Structure 1
Amino acid sequence: DAVLALKPDGVFLSNGPGDPSAVGSGIALAKQLLSDPALPMFGICLGHQILGLALGGSTFKLGYGHRGLNHPCGGSGLVEITSQNHGFALDANSLDPQRVAVTHHNLNDRTVAGLELRDQPVFGVQYHPEASPGPHDADHHFARFINLMASRRNADKIERLS
């Protein structure tokens, strides 16, 4: 309630270490934030996994973690060379396909590398588009998030004028 009371333009769920299922408070907060159907949310790495868990999905420990600056991920007709550093992944079969679209896969092992909600301005990627130095193939995710927040801000201004 405290975060929603601030009326944010958007919420960014950052990366971090470890098993995402152990971050119970983060999962609970993400579930609460998802109750606002117009709130833009963007999750990176652990934040992406927390989104998936908040949406009822599950994660699993990878046999070998994804670490390094040269992991190819594909989706929407694009291949991005990404920076990754994680040992867990979302189980694609645990996500509700009516609500969640898997947008990217790691092209080495086909694990989920991106998702978005079909009916809300919410998305996440398993990799690190903020990585620098490193590939900049995924910078467009930040532009998307900024545009979603600007749309929310402008919609709020229009609503207040009505």
Structure 2
Amino acid sequence: MKTPLLLTTIATLALAGCGDQGFGLFKRGDKDAKPVAEAPVAPPEPAQSHPDTTALNKGGALTQDAAGAVSETALAEATKPVERPEQDKGTTIASLGLLERDGFWLRTPLVSSEADGRVVVEGSGASVNLRLLPSGGESGAGSQLSIAAMQVLGVPITDLVKVQVFIR
């Protein structure tokens, strides 16, 4: 019996403090009162950019725009035909790789050491010359493709793409 009475009393006192005519303990201040002093607000400083760090984000990796930006020379090198023998390493499903490294590359379990190579998108036939990097994963595990390579291949960076991998 004492508990409900105690809870009712506490609730009544708490709600009494919500009104404009509350008890002295809960009485609100004057609505038209002005603040004693206002702190001056300094205008924000313009962002400074340094040419050597504009491509880096807080994590130290390249941003999407910077990673996808390649020079005309690199683009020509990645798309020109190469007259060297190639060995078919198989097919893999590739997603967008981490933006930690720029250029054209594929991180895949289909190779055990770095090598030059080429990938061809199944269906469209689009191809790009790139650097093959070992992923250390088991055979059949997926691969990661650089953003620059995905852009040259014409595939959206959010897609999983099936590619045929060739090593030189």
TM class by smaller structure? under 0.3
Computing the radius of gyration from Cα coordinates, the structure with the larger value is 2
Name the TM-score, length of structure 1 as normaliser: 0.26
Hey, which of these two has a bigger chunk of strand by percent? Answer: 1
Hey, which of these two has a bigger chunk of helix by percent? Answer: 1
Name the TM-score, length of structure 2 as normaliser: 0.25
